[in-house]
C-alpha cells in the first residue's frame, strides 16, 4: 500500500477556497480534500477537523475504488490520531492504538509493538508501553565506540514514488550537517538563543536544531509543539535569534 502525502496549504485564503470547492468536488477528490483540510485544521479548529475526518470515513466506506480508499484510510488514521492526542480524546486515541495493533498483527516480520504514552507510567490494556519496555533497563550503560562511517540513523522516505526506503546516515553525516548548519548557514554563537519548535525525533529538529545548538554552545529553548501565540511569547521572553520551521 502506498501512503499518499498530505498536502500543505499555503494560506488561510487557500483553505477557504478549498472549503468552497468541496461542494462540487467528485467523491475521490472530495475524500482527499477532507483529509488534507482536517490535517491543516487539527490544531486551530478541532471540531471542524473531527467533522472532516468523519465525512472522510463515510466516503471511504462507500468508495468503489478500493485501492485509493485504502491509501486515504492510512492518511486518515494519522490525522485522527493526532487530533485525538492533541485534544485529549481518550476514546479515539484508544481506537487509533487498536488500529495500529491490527496492522501489526497482520504484518509478517513485525516483532514488537509499543505504545508511547504521554505519562511514562501509564498502562494500556493488551499492549506494552514504551515506559514499561524500558522500566527494567539500567540507567547507566557502557558506551559503544563507533567509527565516523558507521550508520547512526536510518531515515525513511515518505514513499510518494513507491515503497518507503531507509536512507542510512553515518555519524560523520550528522556531524557535518550540524557543523555546517551552525557555522555556515546561520552562524550560531554561544551568545545565541534558538527556538526549538520541531520535534526532536524529526531529523531537522534533532540535527539542525538540537545538535547544531550543542555544537555551537548556544542555548536551545524548547516548546512541545509550534503554536504561533506561544512561539511569539517565547521569542520575546528569551530573545530568540534563530528558529527553524518546516
- How far is residue 154 from each of residues 47, 102, 201, measured CA to CA in Å? 36, 25, 12
Give the pLDDT of residue 246. Answer: 63
pTM metric for this prediction: 0.50
Give the pLDDT of residue 205. Answer: 85
Give the pLDDT of residue 144. Answer: 85
Give the pLDDT of residue 5. Answer: 43
Grouped pLDDT means (10 residues each) for the chain, 246 residues:
41 62 72 79 76 85 78 76 68 72 80 81 82 88 90 78 80 90 85 88 83 90 83 91 77
Q: How far apart, in whole angstroms, are the C-alpha atoms of residue 217 and residue 211? A: 10
Q: How far apart, in whole angstroms, are the C-alpha atoms of residue 153 and residue 173? A: 10
Strand partners, 155: 167
Amino acid at each position: 500500500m502506498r501512503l499518499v502525502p498530505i498536502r500543505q496549504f499555503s494560506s488561510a485564503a487557500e483553505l477557504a477556497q478549498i472549503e468552497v470547492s468541496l461542494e462540487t468536488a467528485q467523491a475521490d477528490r472530495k475524500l482527499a480534500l477532507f483529509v488534507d483540510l482536517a490535517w491543516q485544521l487539527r490544531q486551530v479548529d478541532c471540531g471542524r477537523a473531527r467533522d472532516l475526518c468523519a465525512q472522510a470515513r463515510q466516503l471511504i466506506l462507500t468508495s468503489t475504488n478500493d485501492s485509493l480508499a485504502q491509501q486515504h484510510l492510512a492518511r486518515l488514521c494519522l490525522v485522527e490520531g493526532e487530533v485525538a492526542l492533541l485534544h485529549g480524546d481518550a476514546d479515539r486515541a484508544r481506537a487509533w492504538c487498536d488500529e495500529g495493533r491490527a496492522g501489526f498483527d497482520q504484518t509478517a516480520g513485525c516483532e514488537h509493538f509499543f505504545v508511547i504514552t504521554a505519562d511514562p507510567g501509564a498502562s494500556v490494556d493488551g499492549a506494552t508501553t514504551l515506559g514499561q519496555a524500558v522500566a527494567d533497563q539500567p540507567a547507566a550503560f557502557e558506551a559503544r565506540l563507533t567509527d565516523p562511517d558507521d550508520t547512526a540513523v536510518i531515515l525513511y522516505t515518505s514513499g510518494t514514488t513507491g515503497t518507503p526506503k531507509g536512507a542510512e546516515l553515518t555519524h560523520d553525516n550528522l556531524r557535518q550537517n550540524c557543523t555546517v548548519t551552525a557555522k555556515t548557514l546561520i552562524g550560531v554563537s554561544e551568545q545565541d538563543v534558538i527556538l526549538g519548535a520541531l520535534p526532536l525525533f524529526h531529523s531537522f529538529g534533532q540535527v539542525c536544531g538540537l545538535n547544531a545548538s550543542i555544537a555551537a554552545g548556544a542555548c536551545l529553548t524548547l516548546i512541545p509543539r509550534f503554536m504561533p501565540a506561544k512561539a511569539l511569547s517565547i521569542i520575546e521572553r528569551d530573545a530568540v535569534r534563530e528558529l527553524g520551521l518546516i
